[in-house]
Structure 1
Amino acid sequence: MACCLRATRKWTCRAVVFRIAQLLCLSALISELVSQREVAAWTYHYDTKNLSWPKARNFCREHYTDLVAIQNKNEIAYLNDVTPYYSQYYWIGIRKINDKWTWVGTNKTLTPEAENWADHEPNNRGSNQDCVEIYIKSPSAPGKWNDEPCRRRKRALCYSASCQDASCSRQGECVETIGNYTCSCHAGFYGPECEHALQCQALPAPHEAQVDCVHPFGAFRYQSTCSFTCREGSLLVGANELQCLATGSWSAPPPQCRARTCTPLLSPRNGMMTCVQPLGSSSYQSTCHFTCDEGFSLSGPERLDCTPSGHWSGSPPTCEGTAPAPVPGVRCPALIAPMQGNMSCRHYLGTFGPNTACHFECTSGFTLRGEAAIRCTPSGQWTAAPPACRAVRCSELHTAEPVLMDCSHPWGNFSYGSACTFGCPEGQSLNGSATAACQPNGQWSAAVPTCQEVPLTTQEALTYFGGAVASTTGLVMGGTLLALLRRRCRQKDDGKSPLNPHSHLGTYGVFTNAAFDPSP
């Protein structure tokens, strides 16, 4: 029994030691990652050699970023505090260019609010003092600036920036902060690294149209450009090119393709016209056939077609001859106004008698299919079948997952009066209008929206954060202890000097001046 207890304790101790070893290894990894990020932050450096200003700048650009660019008063105080005193002082990144003091890293003129000259400086003594030194630990003017001849030999005071050419995805301004940087995104971009472009609503292809899009930053996102063309016989109504703007909206409403129309035709006197008009009254692809009443003959083409150019294929024909005497009591079938339309008639030989002419029109949102005017012939037949009013069609709507769409169509699929509602699954919000209606002009009242993830609420964020903190507290404490031990072991000086040459000095303050440029 005692043997079993000893074995159990032995295995328990081994498990504890193994867990502690795992914890220390993971802590070391975290510490190393933290150390690497510190190295990448904004840091200061100096050289112990005396160099002229041009050579000092070359040294800084070769080994670091550039001669130091002073961002604010706090940075000056920090540099004066931690940089060793040197009787000849240090060069900084300001030089006179075209008689103006200029930050050499950005080629921007020094502004009055950023100046930190010592008393009675700059004085340009000898008319050749075109470079600037900083009085580090000067007894009379600590941290102040003085103009000096560029040939003088001084130490180079350099900096290394955390902002790099690729920072902020090249879609924002990199702003140096304490130990790191933040991104001020250009219009149209967002995200910690400005890696995302704003989303515009997806553009469906209009009816009878072709759309060609270019998406430099993702489908239907900022700077996406879509061009529209209509098929033969159709006319583009609206802008032929749309661009997704930085506001997340399109530069113009989506265009529509309308069938080209020819001049409306009338039935020939003493004749009849019958038309097939698949795209609307007198529109492209309409075909009209002509016949004459008894006793008359057709003079001209028997058929006319509406061509893609919007012209009929020929001139309207006429009916030549002599009309027979009207037969007493002849009547054409009584007519009624079409649904969603109006009818007006002029009766000559009694109600719906010979030569009665009726005219038709549709209410807003409907188009006439058939002849706009028909006449009662002496034989008691109308010159054409009564027309009908059909709802104007809008382009068919298409949604991309996960958008949900529910539509009602009182007058036909995706026609005038159709109304669609949109929604998103739980956890996502609608980006755009929740409803769209087909309008009398054949255009939708709004474009199809998109779905986007809902940001975490404060309560949810705190919940996730609390769980993460609870699960990593032990690891961070171990990593901190190990990091302190590593730094203690790596310390190279005796503690009498504030820093060693070429070592980084850390950061101080938030850098807001225009002196810094991440790509010098």
Structure 2
Amino acid sequence: MIQAAVKVDIDECEESNGGCSQLCNNLPGEFVCSCKSGYEIDESDGKTCLDINECKDSALSWDCEGGCENLIGSYRCLPSTEGILVAPNQTLPEDNGVFSGTIVCKPGFEQSADGSECKDINECELKDKDPKTGRITQRYCEHIYENTKGSFRCHCPEGYNLLEDKQSCAMDGLPSSPKNNTIKDVDKTPIVETPCGKSCKVVKRCQHPPNGKVQCSAHPHKLSFKWNCLTTCNPGYVLQGPEHSTCYPSGRWEGAEPNCHPESRTEIITLSCSKTCPQVSYNTASLH
């Protein structure tokens, strides 16, 4: 009877970690050395782990805007001087990246959590909440945002052009822009006029619905050319759509457009007859 020889794998990692300076990975018939994060294997011996200098590779230290300091197995970002408003009693950072004094940031920047630098404010993420309705709207751009260092840009979709406020959009062919960010409650529909030539046009902002009235006031944020509007209906009519809504200078409502429809009432009509008559309900709206 012939018996086959059974091969038993030797775990090289059990003895002196296989000679690996950090990690030893046992495989059938062999072993491989590897390294922890922040290190790479020395290809000359395949066992020694060398520190990676992340600061020499922008792809590894992409989050460092103000400079990079390499550490053993890691790195740290130095505070950025960008966005700092330097006052007479302030100094710029020393070589070790530590600021002396209190820093003040330029417009469009805000202090970091540790107060060591000024971080760009992403205006695209800023929103305003109406304290009365709870509606949340974008603070600046009506349509498309582009964040830049210390500022932002607004863009319009195809078929629209950017108005003079650099935030609102209007349909092509309507050269209009808001004069200010205040609309008074008047019976006539508020309009926006543009100083232009003989072909000057006007754009009506969000109009009063038939059998109703719109009252608008300035948006809470001074840099936003939007209007918070309240829609009410005449007696005998009910509102369909939001009571509180936002109006843009282009004449477009944000969300559903409010409308006033005839009120549907149920009345009890008593018929005159010789016998006791049943009470009959009629929808008076259908009789008009």
Higher strand residue share = 2
Q: Is the shorter-chain TM-score for this pair beyond 0.5, marking a shared fold?
A: no
* Structure with larger RCO (C-alpha < 8 A, sep 6+): 1
Higher helix residue share = 1
Q: TM-score, normalised by structure 2?
A: 0.30
